[in-house]
């Protein structure tokens, strides 16, 4: 069990250590070397301000935003959310400066785009330097699958059949592209325009590909951008989160209401338009980067490390075979499908609390009171609600004219291991308006901290 959680975490301060499928044209170490040393902002993968703060062992200050401070004050509780941080209070870093606490650019984005929220300052005094190991939600598929198989007895036979049917229908429809992606991962390149167009079609059948597509593009933008804005954030030790936010909102209508990566599937011509709209100089290399990087990440996150990527085919494979060969892909797909069962609101805590308990156990064993999103250390960081060896205090914050935060009133509330409730948005095939289909990125919900409220996410995890 802990081995799976170890596999799902990344520490960018040490060499790549994951076991990966055989026959891949490029290793995780090859990609790490390229990303860190051959991109303009790759030095921030190791040398970012958040990692330095974790390693310092000094008190850390985090920003959390909430929509109902009164409910928190009344209950004296802070609840955590699921998502990319599994079961943590979603935050972003604050940097202590003479003028006050400066928000990370991700936090500045959250406050600007969620003006009805109240900012909270969370002070964490760790017991020791914190290991900078971040959880990569793209690698959580095997854990999703194991959890589902452990608790599938909670489903009725009809519900079980519904999930299996939906999973197999998606696999059959996307199988041709999945095989193309594996061929590319093993070195047999497809022309980038053709690859992107086939990827775009496959996302509608296999939504996990939309997450991969978006995360690869986000990585491309953050690491390759050379704008003045990006350079200013880099000087502060931060990757520029505004780049992929702008791209997402340009790509999908209503993304400000529901940050939905299952809807992210631009074809080749649209991909180039979107990247050009964010940073024109990056458009020419975007499609080829997506082809190479997504193929590699698909093989790593979909297949079991013991497999040979050159010998796997999705076309004609049955579900038991794919559970063994591709537990990551099956896990992510099952995780999505069970959320659309009518009874899932009643079953939610059974499945999600089981994973959260394992994550908390792993974090405590590793000395991690503040887990972060480890796809890249881009500023998504959370609070482990059951870490026994750190002191935590919370204040309601006031923003000054330059955007810095200052503590105003201390909030008498404790972080508890209670998962905020969750709901699943409608799927494309269940709504007439294709632009309103959902499932989302890996960001926490601003209501997750509010006791007694359903997490009405506008940014839902994989």
Band (pLDDT 50/70/90 cuts) for residue 327 is very high
| Percentage of the chain lying above the pLDDT 90 cut | 85
The answer to whether the CB of 332 falls within 8 A of the CB of 144 is yes
pLDDT at 1: 79
Q: Give the pLDDT confidence score for residue 260 in this predicted structure.
A: 78
pLDDT exceeds cutoff 70 at 311:
yes
> What tens digit of pLDDT does each residue of 380-417 get?
999 999 999 999 999 999 999 999 999 999 999 999 99
Half-sphere exposure of 360 (CA within 13 A, CB side): 22
| Rounded average pLDDT over 294-307 | 98
CB 85 within 8 A of CB 76: no
Where is average pLDDT lowest: 73-82, 271-280, 423-432?
A: 423-432
Distance CA 126, CA 229 (A): 32
Grouping H, G, I as helix, E, B as strand and the rest as coil, residue 417 is: strand
Cβ pair 377, 132 in contact under 8 A:
yes
SS (H, E, C) 188-227: CCCCHHHHHHHHHHHHCCCCHHHHHHHHHHHHHHHHHCCC
Res. 426 pLDDT band, cuts 50 70 90? low
What pLDDT, on a 0 to 100 scale, did the predictor assign at position 443?
A: 34
Please check whether residue 406 is in contact with residue 100, taking contact to mean a CB–CB distance below 8 angstroms. yes
pLDDT in tens, 47-61: 999 999 999 999 999
- Residue 418: which of 65, 94, 72, 64 has the closest Cα? 72
- pLDDT grade, residue 42 (50/70/90)? very high
Is the C-alpha dihedral spanning 63, 69, 75, 80 positive or negative? Answer: negative
- Which pLDDT does position 239 carry in this prediction? 98
19 vs 22, 305, 329, CA distance in Å?
9, 6, 17
The percent of residues above 70 in pLDDT, for the chain, comes to 90
Mean pLDDT of 287-313: 98
Q: How far is CA 172 from CA 63, 278, 302, 312, 316, in A?
A: 44, 35, 16, 15, 8
pLDDT of 462 strictly over 60: no
Instruction: Name the residue among 382, 380, 377 with its Cα closest to residue 48.
Output: 377
- Helix and strand element counts for the chain (H, E): 17, 13
**DSSP state string for 164-181:** HHHHHHHHHHHHHHHHHH
Instruction: For residue 171, give every residue at least 6 positions away whose Cβ sits within 8 Å of its Cβ, in sequence order, or none.
Output: 178, 206, 314, 317, 319, 322, 333
Lowest mean pLDDT, pick from 13-17, 21-25, 121-125: 13-17
Average pLDDT rounded to a whole number, residues 418-447: 47
**431, pLDDT greater than 60:** no
pLDDT value at 445 more than 90: no
Q: Is the pLDDT of residue 459 over 50?
A: no
| Coil, helix or strand at residue 351 | helix
Q: Tell me what the pLDDT averaged over the chain comes to.
A: 91
Interval 326-355 mean pLDDT? 94
- Residue 238 contacts residue 379 (beta carbons within 8 Å): yes
Does 439 score more than 60 pLDDT?
no
**Separation CA 113–CA 422 (nearest Å):** 22
pLDDT band, residue 420 (cuts 50/70/90) = confident
DSSP 3-state assignment of 129?
A: coil
Q: Which residues of 339-376 are buried (b: 16+ CB within 10 A; e: fewer)?
A: bbbeebeebbeebbbbbbebbbebbeebbbbbbbbbbb
* Residue tagged 């775009």 (tokens): 200
What does the pLDDT look like over 92-144, one tens digit per residue? 999 999 999 999 999 999 999 988 999 999 999 999 999 999 999 999 999 99
Residue 451 has pLDDT above 90, yes or no: no
Residue 452, CA atoms < 13 Å, CB-side half-sphere: 10
Model confidence at 447: pLDDT above 60: no
From residue 13, alpha-carbon distances to 43, 45, 148, 267, 374 in Å are 11, 9, 33, 36, 12
423 vs 178, more confident: 178
* Whether 141 contacts 330, CB under 8 Å: yes
* Cβ neighbourhood burial of 15 (10 Å; 0-12, 13-18, 19+): exposed
pLDDT (0 to 100) of residue 253 = 86
Residues 330, 178: Cα–Cα separation, whole Å:
13
Q: What pLDDT was estimated at residue 422?
A: 63
| The pLDDT of residue 291 is above 90 | yes
Which regions of 48-182 does DSSP assign to beta strands (E)?
60-66, 77-80, 89-97, 100-103, 118-125, 133-135
- Average pLDDT in the 165-193 region? 98
Instruction: Assign 427 a pLDDT band (cuts: 50, 70, 90).
Output: low
Q: Where are the beta strands (DSSP E) in 18-141?
A: 60-66, 77-80, 89-97, 100-103, 118-125, 133-135
Contacts of 458 (CB under 8 A, 6+ apart): 256, 257, 258, 259, 440, 445
461 Cβ neighbours under 8 A, 6+ residues apart? 82, 83, 84, 137, 440, 441, 442, 443
Q: What does the alpha-carbon distance between residue 331 and residue 148 come to, in Å, rounded to a whole number? A: 8
- What's the pLDDT tens digit per position in 218-260? 999 999 999 999 999 999 999 999 999 999 999 998 777 677 7
């Amino acid at each position: 069990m802990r081995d799976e959680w170890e596999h799902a975490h990344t520490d960018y301060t040490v060499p790549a250590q994951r076991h990966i499928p055989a026959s891949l044209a490029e290793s995780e170490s090859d990609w790490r070397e390229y990303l860190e040393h051959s991109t303009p902002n790759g030095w921030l993968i190791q040398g970012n301000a958040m990692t330095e703060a974790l390693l310092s062992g000094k008190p850390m200050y985090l920003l959390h935003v909430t929509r109902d401070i009164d409910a928190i004050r009344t209950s004296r509780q802070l609840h955590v959310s699921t998502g990319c941080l599994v079961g943590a209070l979603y935050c972003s870093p604050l940097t202590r400066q003479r003028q006050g606490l400066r928000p990370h650019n991700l936090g500045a984005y959250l406050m600007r785009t969620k003006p009805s929220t109240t900012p909270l300052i969370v002070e964490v005094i760790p017991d020791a330097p914190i290991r900078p190991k971040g959880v990569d939600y793209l690698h959580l598929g095997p854990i999703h699958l194991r959890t589902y198989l452990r608790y599938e007895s909670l489903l009725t036979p009809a519900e079980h059949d519904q999930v299996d049917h939906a999973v197999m229908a998606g696999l059959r429809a996307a199988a041709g592209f999945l095989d193309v992606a594996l061929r590319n991962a093993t070195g047999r390149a497809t022309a980038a325009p053709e690859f992107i167009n086939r990827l775009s079609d496959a996302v509608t059948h296999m939504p996990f590909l939309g997450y991969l597509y978006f995360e690869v593009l986000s990585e491309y933008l953050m690491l390759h951008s050379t704008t003045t804005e990006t350079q200013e954030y880099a000087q502060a030790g931060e990757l520029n989160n505004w780049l992929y936010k702008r791209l997402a909102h340009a790509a999908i209508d209503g993304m400000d209401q529901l940050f939905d990566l299952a809807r992210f599937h631009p074809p080749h011509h649209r991909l180039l338009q979107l990247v050009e709209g964010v940073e024109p100089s990056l458009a020419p290399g975007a499609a080829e980067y997506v082809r190479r990087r997504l193929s590699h990440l698909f093989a790593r996150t979909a297949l079991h490390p013991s497999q040979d990527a050159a010998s796997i085919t999705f076309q004609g494979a049955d579900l038991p075979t794919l559970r063994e060969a591709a537990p990551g892909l099956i896990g992510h797909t099952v995780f999505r499908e069970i959320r659309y069962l009518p009874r899932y609101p009643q079953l939610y805590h059974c499945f999600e609390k089981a994973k959260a308990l394992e994550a908390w156990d792993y974090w405590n064993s590793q000395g991690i009171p503040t887990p972060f999103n480890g796809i890249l250390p881009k500023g998504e960081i959370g609070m482990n609600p059951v870490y026994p060896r750190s002191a935590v205090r919370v204040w309601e914050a006031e923003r000054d004219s330059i955007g810095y935060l200052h503590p105003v009133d201390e909030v008498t509330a404790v972080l508890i291991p209670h998962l905020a409730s969750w709901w699943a948005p409608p799927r494309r095939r269940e709504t007439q308006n294709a632009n309103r289909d959902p499932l989302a990125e890996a960001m926490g919900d601003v209501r997750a901290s509010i006791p007694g409220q359903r997490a009405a996410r506008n940014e839902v995890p994989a």
